[in-house]
Amino acid sequence: MNTTHAEDMPQYRMDDATQDPVAIGKIICLARTYKKHAKEMKSEVPKDPLLFLKPASAVIFDGEAIIIPQKSKCLHHEVELGVVIGKKCKNISKEEVLDYVMGYLLALDITARDIQAEAKKNGWPWGIAKGFDTFAPISDVLLKNKTIDPNNLELSLSVNGTLRQQANTSQMIFSVEEIIAFISSIMTLEAGDLIMTGTPEGVGELATGDKVEAKLGGLTALHVFVK
């Protein structure tokens, strides 16, 4: 019988090699956190954050490949700020949030847009559209420090050298503190959980052979390709 042990769970890569390994927990994703992206998807801006989950098994790292599943004919890129939780918490206030953050990373919320469109039409959940293996490329974790303001970070994404997405996290409808406080009012957050804070406008299709480069300010970059 095969059993899974904690040490087999996928772990974050740290920008500081002296850090102890941290297993990747649940991945909580936000939808429609940038007005212009909601508009390009012909969606309303929500009053409260909209959440969905992605499995940790979807994570890949710098240099690895996004694999187009046979079930989809239309994969989209979504570049997002990721926030990694450092300590267990529940029902925390906005003011307390940053005490529970371990660090930040660049994340791609890869989406099978055709499967998602079908789900939206039928009122079905998005687990399939968002949950295939390789649908969560992430960079190394930048450990939190006083010089990183998560509400003022430049995000960009290029495909084969052409800029597709560029925005600042200051354009989000909700602050990082509001998002995490809200999530903690729903579910317990644990060390290693990852929050993908939603994508700005400019989402677009990926094809076999594409080279994707994402950047988070001048702080870190992520390179993946499409297979």
CB of 42 to Mg ion, least distance (A): 16
CB of 109 or CB of 193, closer to Mg ion: 109
Contacts within 8 Å (CB) and 24+ apart, 96-100: 96/181, 97/176, 97/177, 97/180, 97/181, 98/144, 98/177, 100/180, 100/189
Which stretch in 63-71, 108-116, 139-147, 205-213 sits in contact with Mg ion by CB under 5 A? Answer: 108-116
131 scored as a contact of Mg ion (CB under 5 A):
no
CB of 6 to Mg ion, least distance (A): 28
CB of 165 to Mg ion, least distance (A): 11
Number of residues that bind Mg ion (CB under 5 A): 3
C-alpha angle 35/196/9, rounded to 5°? 165
Which stretch in 56-64, 71-79, 168-176, 179-187 sits in contact with Mg ion by CB under 5 A? Answer: 71-79
Burial of 48 (0-12, 13-18, 19+ CB in 10 A): exposed
C-alpha angle 111/66/135, rounded to 5°? 40
Among 116, 139, 197, 199, indicate the residue that binds Mg ion (CB under 5 A). Answer: 199
Among 38, 109, 155, 159, indicate the residue that binds Mg ion (CB under 5 A). Answer: 109
Q: For strand 27-31 and strand 194-196, is the pairing parallel, antiparallel, or unpaired? A: parallel
Which stretch in 62-70, 75-83, 133-141, 175-183 sits in contact with Mg ion by CB under 5 A? Answer: 75-83
CB of 134 or CB of 199, closer to Mg ion: 199
78 scored as a contact of Mg ion (CB under 5 A):
yes
Pick from 166, 101, 109: nearest CA to 138: 109
Residue 107, Cβ neighbours under 10 Å: how many? 30
Which stretch in 88-96, 148-156, 194-202, 215-223 sits in contact with Mg ion by CB under 5 A? Answer: 194-202
Burial of 171 (0-12, 13-18, 19+ CB in 10 A): middle
CB of 53 or CB of 191, closer to Mg ion: 53
CB of 30 to Mg ion, least distance (A): 7
129 scored as a contact of Mg ion (CB under 5 A):
no
Helix H, strand E, coil C: the string for 183-211 is HHCCCCECCCCEEECCCCCCCEEECCCCE
CB of 16 or CB of 117, closer to Mg ion: 117
Q: Which residues bind to Mg ion, rule: CB under 5 A?
A: 78, 109, 199
